Amino acid sequence: MSLDPTKIQQIASDGRASVWVAASAGTGKTKVLTDRLLNLLLADTPPGKLLCLTFTKAAAAEMANRLNDKLSGWATETDTKLRADVAGIMGLAERDVPPETLDRARRLFARVLDTPGGMRILTIHAFCQSVLRRFPLEAGLPPQFEVMDDRSATELLEEARLGVLTAARAATHDLGEALAEVTRHAGEQAFTELMQALTTERGRLAQLIDQAGGLPAYLDRLDRRLGVRPGETEAGLIADACREDAFDGAGLRRAVDALLAGSKTDAARGECLAAWLGDPAGRAAGFDTYAGAFLTAEGEPRKTLATKSVLAADPRVGEVLAAEQERVLAVEARRAAIVVARANAGLARLAAGFLDAYAAEKRRRGLLDYDDLILAARALLDQPGPGYCSSSTAASTIS
């Protein structure tokens, strides 16, 4: 059974329900939102108690225009057409529309015009700015703060980023090590893309670091999430994996003898193992080649470690090789975790450096960017105090 789109829109436009609308462009989302506002107004909700937030100025203007067009039309509409229009919005039969609702509909345009400041249909950033303008000191901001446009913010971010990268290139610790770690994994193009991504997600990253209690705590949390011990390094892991007591040396040497007596493929694997086992000083440097005897280039376990003839001659060889394959696989998995942890730590240090530089320059100039508006407004609304509402009461004070 197909659903009537009009009925679905009427359900979504009921102001008494909390609704999430997800739909593609041109399917009527703006109409549903406008109808929700009209339903609330028809239910005698004071216009000053309504707040509608959008992402863009164009969307806010579109909603305001639609609302004004509808209300101005209702003021002069015939009774028959007005009743049909109101009934359609409220999801009622025309005969069920109360006379007082029609009278209210005719007066809504004048009522909205008489509301101080008019209907509040704003972008999210404009709303946050209006809250912070009223309570700058409570939000920890200079009273005369200014909001940067996207172009100014981009220019200031680029200055901060270049300054941190210049300092990192000249440094031998912290920033210098962070830059070296990141560039070890990212080429010029990838590095540029990473820096751009950090710029785009700066607000989210700053919030994560702040929630963790600072950069060191954030890095500790990252290590714990990846199962990496503090100070653990890739080189240290490989060195430990190459110690004589880390593997079954006797069993592997027995496997080497069996492999060398097998097929050409067996012999090649046996020579690889023998070379690694016979050079204790060079094991760490040759670990990747050694691991290739057990794992594919994609890091997956090889299905065949010895031919049937080798395994038939000495069944113990299969057990030894399988155990070593599991060990090498575990080492590689832990190495991947360490690489990810250290690369992300380097990236976070670079990001924190340029975010600090960017924030310091904004404070010096008394500027806020769009992300600052949202973060500062949310922090303000989360702290109860005289003269402004907390987030727990916002829903009851703003319908």
Q: What is the pLDDT of residues 286-301, one digit of tens each?
A: 999 999 999 999 999 9
pLDDT tens-place values along the chain, 399 residues long = 556 777 778 778 887 888 888 888 877 888 888 899 999 999 999 999 999 988 888 989 999 999 999 999 999 999 999 999 999 888 888 999 999 999 999 999 999 999 988 889 999 999 999 999 999 999 988 888 999 988 888 888 888 888 888 888 887 667 888 888 888 888 878 888 887 787 778 778 888 888 899 989 999 999 999 999 988 999 999 999 999 999 999 999 999 999 999 999 999 999 999 999 999 999 999 999 999 999 999 999 999 999 999 999 998 999 999 999 999 999 999 999 999 999 989 888 888 888 888 888 888 888 998 888 988 898 888 876 544 443 333 332 232
Question: Measured between alpha carbons, how far is 6 from 32 in angstroms, rounded to an integer?
Answer: 10
Per-residue pLDDT, 333: 95
Per-residue pLDDT, 384: 65
Q: Extract the tokens encoding 384.
A: 């109860």
Per-residue pLDDT, 360: 87
Per-residue pLDDT, 393: 30
- pLDDT for 211-253, tens place per residue? 899 989 999 999 999 999 988 999 999 999 999 999 999 999 9
Give bridge partners of residue 301 from the DSSP assignment: 295
Per-residue pLDDT, 3: 63
Per-residue pLDDT, 172: 64
- 3-state per-residue secondary structure call for the chain: CCCCHHHHHHHHCCCCCCCCCCCCCCCCHHHHHHHHHHHHHHCCCCHHHCEEEECCHHHHHHHHHHHHHHHHHHHHCCHHHHHHHHHHHHCCCHHHCCHHHHHHHHHHHHHHHHCCCCCEEEEHHHHHHHHHHHCCCCCCCCCCCEECCHHHHHHHHHHHHHHHHHHHHHCCCCHHHHHHHHHHHCCHHHHHHHHHHHHHCHHHHHHHHHHHCCHHHHHHHHHHHHCCCCCCCHHHHHHHHCCHHHCCHHHHHHHHHHHHCCCHHHHHHHHHHHHHHCCHHHCCCCHHHHHCCCECCCCCECCCCCCHHHHHHCCHHHHHHHHHHHHHHHHHHHHHHHHHHHHHHHHHHHHHHHHHHHHHHHHHHCEECHHHHHHHHHHHHCCCECCECCHHHHHHHCC
